[in-house]
A and B are shown apart, each in its own frame.
Chain A
Amino acid sequence: MSGVRVLVGTRKGAFVLTSDERRADWEVSGPHFPGWEIYHLKGSPADPDRIFAAQSTSWFGQLIQRSDDGGKTWQPVGNEFAYEGVPGTHQWYDGTPHPWEFARVWHLEPSLTDPDLIYAGVEDAALFRSNDAGATWQELPGLRGHGSGPKWQPGAGGMCLHTIIQDPRDANRLIIAISAAGAFRTEDGGKTWQAINHGLKSGQIPDPDAEVGHCVHHIARHPQRPDVLFMQKHWDVMRSDDGGDNWYEISGNLPTDFGFVIDVHAHELDTVYVVPIKSDEHHFPPDGRLRVYRSRGGGHEWEPLTAGLPQENCYVNVLRDAMAVDSLESCGVYFGTTGGQVYASADSGDTWAPIVRDLPAVLSVEVQTLP
């Protein structure tokens, strides 16, 4: 019988939640790596029992853990993330040059087809690749060598490369996003990159139409329609129909166009989810009501989803990697909050329930649909 495995990274450990295809009862395993920040964990599409986790603390730095048995046991693999060549500088918060310094891994993206190939997006922003299941890591330096690197500046959470999207048609095509530099695309496996921020507008930077400097929070797309991208930006929900060449706003009737997560329904190509957050200063839902907003027409028109979600006195945040969908026939949608709840819907968002609560602050949520 099929089922799902939900991988939850938190401020103080990782948790693995499993259920059958009904998704009514959940078994919680964890905390794995208690006391460590787990920014992200994700399973290999090519081998679902292979899961990678990014584990860090301010004391002992970054480790990468790998499980080959679906999260039951883990072993540390390689954790050396060395920038190629002389790293140079990017902008610091005050606008002065600041040396590139590795801080942590924000996002792990295993290959769609090769269980030994995995990408890592790191702070300070760079893209690394491992061809040996995490034992060793090499930077793809063409990204920072794009030429705009010295202009990149950290957002409040650091200068992180947080989104890595592979093209199922061509393994050499990748899209990445960096806070607060913007989105970039490669057609040649990471050797060369182009900024793909045309149409993004950011009032917080001197040139609102600048090639780089836009604070992209997350990008999502459906694997069956790789040229359509959905973006939650610092402000504005955006869409591209041409692989990122051009973007246009689809915020429509959202109560606020600020937020972090965005995701696409597993089967309905134009059904998109966001969680609006009141503002970049407050970082909690408007009016203390936690609402997922769903558009069934690819943006512009949004409906609030509230059934089963707290509608008063709720002041949690939902961070950029903390939403995911499963691919069961009735699409499941999942998200985690900084209040330690993971909410799930087994009916495309119509109704919700917490499947675990009172965890440490949730940093990431990923879902594996198991055969």
Chain B
Amino acid sequence: MIRVHLPAHLRTIAHIDGEVELELNGTATQRALLDALEERYPMLRGTIREHGTGRRRAFVRFFACEEDLSHEEPDAPLPAPVVAGAEPFLVMGAMAGG
């Protein structure tokens, strides 16, 4: 079970209260996690990753275990504490906007 912490705007859009918990089959990667998140909450498609390219949006960052995972390969395995549910996978809005 993987815990995902979303920014407030996205929790509002998806009517999520608190963290999201997702079970993944196979290797737990960033891509698999975000695919599963969008499968459960289709309204989040396009808000974290761009439609078409699947690229992380410029002002969105990923963190876990006090590490910046934003530039990890999408198919790289997630850190073990995230896979074990000990640490959440954080989706953050960058310090930008207005």
Question: Do A and B assemble together?
Answer: yes
Asked if A59 contacts B52 (CB within 8 A), the reply is: no
Chain B nearest CB from A275 CB (Å) reads 25
Query: Is A36 an interface residue when CB atoms closer than 8 A count as contact?
Result: yes
Does B22 make an interface contact (CB < 8 A)? no
- From 81 to 139 in chain A, residues with beta carbon under 8 angstroms from any chain B beta carbon are 81-82
| Contact, CB under 8 Å: A60 / B48 | yes
Binds A, one of B26-34, B39-47, B69-77, B82-90: B39-47
Please tell me if the beta carbons of A76 and B9 are within 8 angstroms of each other in the complex. no
Asked if A80 is an interface residue, CB under 8 A from chain B, the answer is: yes
- Residue count of chain A within 8 Å CB distance of chain B: 15
Contact of B57 among A61, A63, A75, A76 (CB under 8 A): A61
In the bound complex, what is the Cα–Cα distance between A82 and B46 (angstroms)?
11
A122 smallest CB distance to B (angstroms): 13
Within 8 A of B (CB), among A273-300: none
In contact, B43 and A59 (Cβ under 8 angstroms): no
Instruction: Given A76-B43, A80-B45, check contact A63 B13 (CB 8 Å).
Output: yes
Number of B residues whose C-beta is below 8 Å from A? Answer: 19
Q: A59-B94, A60-B57, A60-B93 known; A79 and B46 CB under 8 Å?
A: yes
Contacts of A311 in B (CB 8 A): none
Among candidates B10, B43, B52, B57, residue contacting A82 with C-beta atoms closer than 8 Å: B52
Nearest chain-A residue to B58 (Cβ)?
A58
Distance from A370 Cβ to chain B, minimum over Cβ atoms (Å): 28
Kindly supply a per-residue 1/0 record for chain A positions 58-76, scoring 1 wherever the CB is within 8 Å of any chain B CB and 0 otherwise: 1111110000000000011
Q: State whether the Cβ of B36 lies closer than 8 Å to any Cβ in chain A.
A: no
Residues A41-66 near B (CB distance < 8 A): 57-63
| Chain A residues close to B by CB (< 8 Å) | 35-36, 57-63, 75-76, 79-82
- Name 25 interchain pairs, CB-CB below 8 A, sorted by A: A35-B9, A57-B9, A58-B97, A59-B57, A59-B60, A59-B94, A60-B9, A60-B10, A60-B13, A60-B47, A60-B48, A60-B57, A60-B60, A61-B46, A61-B50, A62-B46, A63-B13, A63-B43, A75-B43, A76-B43, A79-B47, A80-B46, A81-B51, A82-B51, A82-B52
Known A59-B96, A76-B13, A79-B51; further 7 A-B contacts with Cβ < 8 A: A59-B97, A60-B9, A60-B10, A61-B46, A62-B46, A63-B46, A79-B47
The list of the 4 closest CB pairs from A to B, nearest first, reads A76-B43, A60-B47, A59-B93, A59-B59
